[in-house]
Structure 1
């Protein structure tokens, strides 16, 4: 039954818009609480939180003298829900109540929303496997805000979230003086004006009152604000969505629009040196109406890099779920050399399970890789130049020669964000991927991958601190 304001609000709205789901939603709440508590407990156990003085197994001593205890945490586990933890003798089964007791009311509200939305996702997801892009019901496997969607009503979640498999109508916003990079298509022009696709949530909550024209139908992908138009094969449309999902506000910055074509061209060039093992979805065009709230990116669909006539599919790694050890090892033998070679050449990919896709044949085995969403890669001018690759005119956050920053980007995403969920546990990851790492040719980057500590994003700390940007934790490295 609902235990807090967020859960009761979803229950009340559900009784109005989808009353047939109310019973199922209530039944899903206990497991949703345990699933979010598992993600939170991982962060409390491993993130460098300034108010945790000491850790030993499942015991945490806080700087104020209180003690927090729970099960010993496998940071790579994806199917080990945490039913409860204990804070100074009081037992907490709800992650929001635990964080409220620890003094973090704002984060507690986010966790309450994540639990309620996760239960709704599980209750409302249609039966049957569905398209690969829409099979991930639970969201990020390690983020405690895995299904946090502030500002979305129940009706909007059901209408727009991919796990519910809706068709979404994108409106078009005419912009007379848009900033455009790449070749903006004629179908999205109106005389001298550019027509920017607008997500309906954005149209109602952020751009209310702005002139909009009739648009087109599209289906939301795993990223929710990126959609596949029904009548525009081979293209994906990334829209601005000015709300926080998991860690970030999902608008589209002027910086991203300005550099989109250059970054796309560079990554395609570098990936072209990998003998066909990796394809990068090109950014076809990007445009902005003068703010991060009104912008869109058009990019290739990963499906253009899979031969449907040969039975191939391009499948997001996150949609594959837990795999048997032999499959994980085979995938690692493909993905690790590709990621390390790109890193050596000067590009650190954020190759987590949403950005990285496996092209599989009819036998289900991985044949090659596709990478999408170029906004958060890291580019090293020094490494590019050392390999005779022309250094593009880029500045800002994606440019760095710091080997620690470059390795964090790749290792923290590929190992923790892709291989970890495929293996499903630390021991399984060590057994399947450890021998693959042992067999890699020597290099400074490979030796860093074999080190005692593995960098991962400190997802809980990132939600608790005030400053923007990534924060990092270190895990005992199962690949050592």
Structure 2
């Protein structure tokens, strides 16, 4: 084997990191580091020694049943598994001297998929296809960066090039052509007008939270005023890709022919697709629309099934029953859904394909202070993590050095706008929000966390045991969960996916250790006096969603879960 060490390209290093970390988490290989030199593969012994001398941590990961191994080194080892890999790796067999350098991340696709335990060839090939699709999209986004965005908020929403760090199909979009990507991909800076349908009033199903009417784009309403004037028709917005899809269906064609449905074409305000691809921002209307897209994005077809819409609207109704200060605080605000619309059809697949959910947004002026957390924490292929810019601003605003002291102060303020209000909401009212990285937005003032925002109520879960207004919701509401289930989801979405990831990212700046921030978090939880905070400190493990296994096993509503060590546990008193 040559002593020359080929370097992976920057994009491939990040893909290697994403795939390796996901595989390790979901196969319970939490620490693949090779601590003892006696365990070094004979062919790599010299290299392992050199890595250790350079302060790197060699790892060795096996992929059964092919008995292939991946060798490389970590430059940062994370308590939640967000390890940083050095930009090189080798592939070989344990007792072989024929190890080959990994030149790009693509070979990992077959290695990972073939190692997953299942005899189903079709599922394996489907996963491989989605992984290749995702890798191709990531490369595409890096080859062709978008033009300068119109605003900092849009830049953050459309700035995700890699996506979920613990997902092997994070950027898959199975169904978009190259032309579709140019028109609709947020990563390429897309913006477009929505396609509007005029729907016969008797055909449109509308549910507004607290019976509120749905907002209407004034420009679209002016165009369709002759149809709307006597109430015979109402407007239904649709993603333009989805409109083309619907217009190709015979059931929709029949409605068009009998004028129950009139295709009006692109109208109204320009919409900006966000990090979720099918949710768009309409700044002039202070509105988000969660549109249907019959495209497989990551591992789900992203339309709006009735159960999903009902859950989102029931959760928003539940929030409306709380005291105003529980929903909107100086440090934290929830952006609820306002209602939903679809066609009154017996076919559930068609209903899901036509449904749209209306969501409150923040005023456009306030948006310029706000960043989507996922974009703030995504480490680019080259250059520094955007989080570091905020920390510099915070240091400059107070004429402080950018050091551990400042990061700890910053972290205390961050907990004020995130973990603590979210935990208090669940403790008091049993409402657990799906506050993962794409559903959380934060306003910053001179780099300091000012206010947190939570959006997308479709993932909310309400504890039947804690919610004080249970009689106001249908007994079979999909938003209602047993206490254990709702608490389980809180632990993952808020603590693991959100808080844990941000702690890991702060540590990756080199300014502070993860352990220090976990200790500070434990002390803050301890000081809250909440019994649930004590429970978080006492349990040895936390749940983590297994996105790779769920995609492989084609599980949607009931994903697979794994457990990881709880970094808070060591600080219990």
* TM-score bracket relative to the smaller structure: 0.7 to 0.9
1:167–1:425 Cα change, 3 Å: closer
Q: What TM-score do you get using the length of structure 1 for normalisation?
A: 0.81
Q: CA-atom RMSD, angstroms?
A: 3.1
Tell me the residue number matched to 2:523: 438
SS at the partner of 1:384? coil
Contact kept, 8 Å, 2:63 with 2:112, in 1: the verdict is: no
Tell me the residue number matched to 1:15: none
Contact kept, 8 Å, 1:96 with 1:109, in 2: the verdict is: no
- 1:121 CA drift (Å): 1.1
Contact kept, 8 Å, 1:100 with 1:108, in 2: the verdict is: yes
Tell me the residue number matched to 2:145: 125
C-alpha distance in 2 between matches for 1:277 and 1:83: 43
C-alpha distance in 1 between matches for 2:93 and 2:193: 51
Q: Which of these residues, 175, 178, 181, is aligned with residue 204 of structure 2? A: 178
Q: Which of these residues, 111, 120, 126, is aligned with residue 98 of structure 1? A: 111
Tell me the residue number matched to 1:37: 16
Tell me the residue number matched to 2:358: 298
SS at the partner of 2:542? strand
Q: Which of these residues, 212, 218, 240, is aligned with residue 271 of structure 2? A: 218
C-alpha distance in 1 between matches for 2:337 and 2:423: 23
Give unmatched runs, 5+ long, in structure 1: 1-28
1:279–1:333 Cα change, 3 Å: closer
Contact kept, 8 Å, 1:48 with 1:461, in 2: the verdict is: no
Give unmatched runs, 5+ long, in structure 2: 1-7, 34-58, 117-123, 257-262, 346-350, 378-384, 392-406, 508-512
Query: What CA deviation, in whole Å up to 9, does each residue of 1:275-334 have, x standing for no partner?
Result: 443222132221012310111111111347x757xxx72322112225353434421243
C-alpha distance in 1 between matches for 2:110 and 2:66: 19
Contact kept, 8 Å, 2:373 with 2:441, in 1: the verdict is: yes
Contact kept, 8 Å, 1:78 with 1:421, in 2: the verdict is: no
Tell me the number of residue pairs that the alignment of Structure 1 and Structure 2 aligns: 440
Tell me the residue number matched to 1:265: 317
SS at the partner of 1:32? helix
- 1:269 CA drift (Å): 4.0
Q: Which of these residues, 333, 345, 357, is aligned with residue 441 of structure 2? A: 357
Tell me the residue number matched to 2:46: none
Tell me the residue number matched to 2:545: 457
- 1:140 CA drift (Å): 1.8
- Describe how 1:192-271 pairs up with structure 2 within 5 A: 192-208=232-248, 210=252, 211=256, 212-214=263-265, 215-216=267-268, 217-229=270-282, 232-270=284-322
Query: What CA deviation, in whole Å up to 9, does each residue of 1:358-386 have, x standing for no partner?
Result: 1223x22112221111001100121013x
Give the structure with higher Rg (CA): 2
Query: What CA deviation, in whole Å up to 9, does each residue of 1:155-193 have, x standing for no partner?
Result: 211221112222212111233312111112455684433
1:271–1:160 Cα change, 3 Å: farther
Q: More deviation in 234-243 or 444-453?
A: 444-453
